[in-house]
A and B are shown apart, each in its own frame.
Chain A
Amino acid sequence: DQQVKQNSPSLSVQEGRISILNCDYTNSMFDYFLWYKKYPAEGPTFLISISSIKDKNEDGRFTVFLNKSAKHLSLHIVPSQPGDSAVYFCAARGYGQNFVFGPGTRLSVLP
């Protein structure tokens, strides 16, 4: 039973447009969330985080939104660049727990 879901296996976006990657979770005890980016043949790299006391966190072109009542978070990338093409993983954990990862969404940014 997946506790962290990323229902879109892939997403294609035109360069310069907004990319929106979605993540849903089922465990109401999750209180800290991360997004990672992964290129082929490399390990995931940390992008941005958000804790449950916030509903938005922004870092440059990347913004994460958290809707606790819907158990949903999203990552917005604006503007999208070809170098953003990668697999994006959502991860969540409760206090003192290990992270649970989603299956990832493959983003392709088309020039």
Chain B
Amino acid sequence: EADIYQTPRYLVIGTGKKITLECSQTMGHDKMYWYQQDPGMELHLIHYSYGVNSTEKGDLSSESTVSRIRTEHFPLTLESARPSHTSQYLCASSETRTSEDEQFFGPGTRLTVL
């Protein structure tokens, strides 16, 4: 069973606030990801990390930033939230020691910016 956690699950916040979405995994996976998903749409990769102190931007441009100071922790920060940031944010991790690197997802954070 996957052990990947996201907090908060739901967040409603006003425009201009700084927010951090937390993601932690206890599987020791080296790769971690952040996806953004709007209803009925595909998951878009916004950030990923191959290990500690490694972060890369994904395919979808995002104003958010991430950090990877510890293997198990991959928080995402929005310095100034805007209504356009309203979406579901999904964190995932994977093990890449084999060629089959299925991603395990957390439950997601549904963010609403008013």
Note all chain B residues with C-beta closer than 8 A to A2. Answer: 42
Q: Residue B103 contacts which of A46, A102, A103 (CB distance < 8 angstroms)?
A: A46
Listed stretches A11-19, A37-45, A76-84; interface member: A37-45
The answer on a CB contact under 8 Å between B40 and A104 is yes
Tally chain A residues at the interface, Cβ within 8 Å: 23
Number of interface residues of B (CB under 8 A): 28
Q: Which of B62-70, B71-79, B105-113 is the contact stretch?
A: B105-113
- Is A101's CB under 8 angstroms from B42's CB? yes
**A residues less than 8 Å from B90 (CB atoms):** 43-44
With contacts A42-B108, A43-B90 taken as known, whether A99 is within 8 angstroms of B42 at the C-beta atoms is: no
Interchain CB contact under 8 A, B42 and A98: no
Instruction: Report A's interface with B, CB cutoff 8 A.
Output: 2, 4, 9, 32, 34, 36, 41-46, 49, 51, 89, 95, 98-104
What is the interface of chain B, defined by CB distance below 8 A to chain A?
Answer: 2, 4, 6, 9, 33, 35, 40-45, 48, 58-59, 90-92, 99-100, 102-108, 110
26 pairs from A and B in contact (CB 8 Å cutoff): A2-B42, A4-B42, A9-B40, A32-B100, A41-B9, A42-B107, A43-B6, A43-B91, A43-B92, A44-B43, A44-B90, A44-B105, A45-B2, A45-B105, A46-B102, A46-B103, A89-B42, A98-B33, A98-B48, A98-B58, A100-B59, A101-B35, A101-B42, A102-B42, A103-B42, A104-B40
